[in-house]
Amino acid sequence: SWYSFHEKYVPQENLLQNGDGTMGVFNIKRRRFELLSEYQSGDLTSVALMKRGKKVVCGSSEGTIYIFNWNGFGATSDRFALKAESIDQVLPITDSIMCTASTDGYIRAVNLLPNRVIGCIGQHVGEPVEELAKSWDSRFLVSCAQDQLIKFWDISSLPNTTVDEYRKRKKKNGRMKSLTKKAHGDNDFFSGLVEETEKKEEEEQEEEEDDSDSD
């Protein structure tokens, strides 16, 4: 089964991700596939263009993002495993930052090259997120899930996010960084306290790194 297509850069050819784990380039005019990628271990469930059309990213049923070069669809150039059950949609926010919708209910902000999970935009608790969309000015993200709710998230600061090449130490609780005020629950009384704690941890971490650099 074919899930969707993208025809922004090639008017007569579509990129399609397949339920059998392949991505194909379909020529509409000739009504045939021009290229098919190698088989991946999971079903490819979504596709998007990044890096000004130089990279093609595909979400998958096993929670891995597969990355293809525009001029090399046969094999993946890289892959990035998220701690997600499945990535059902990939929505580009900038050339390097995307939002992913997953069956675990979390909406993640992900940076491409370097491959990093920036943090959590929000969630539909316990319900698979089915669709994502953004406003024309990329200020708001809209999500809907099987809980039959439509939620709006302020992502106005996301395009200005910078990601370092080096990996920071993971937090002890393993929780994703909150990128919005309600990222970890609408009715969480302690959500503000959590955000303040995270900020203090980041400041302490930066101070430790500065001290180590000066030694």
Domain ranges across the chain? 2-214
Residue with the larger pLDDT of the pair 188 and 160: 160
Query: Model-level pTM greater than 0.95?
Result: no
Checking if the pLDDT of 187 tops 70, the result is no
CATH superfamily of 2-214: YVTN repeat-like/Quinoprotein amine dehydrogenase (2.130.10.10)
Q: How far is CA 113 from CA 26, 28, 75, 174, in A?
A: 27, 31, 18, 22
**Within the chain, how many helices (H) and strands (E) appear?**
1, 15
pLDDT for the residue 50: 92
pLDDT for the residue 193: 41
pLDDT for the residue 197: 46
Checking if the pLDDT of 46 tops 90, the result is no
Checking if the pLDDT of 71 tops 60, the result is yes
Burial of 185 (0-12, 13-18, 19+ CB in 10 A): middle
Tokens, residue 170: 């993971």
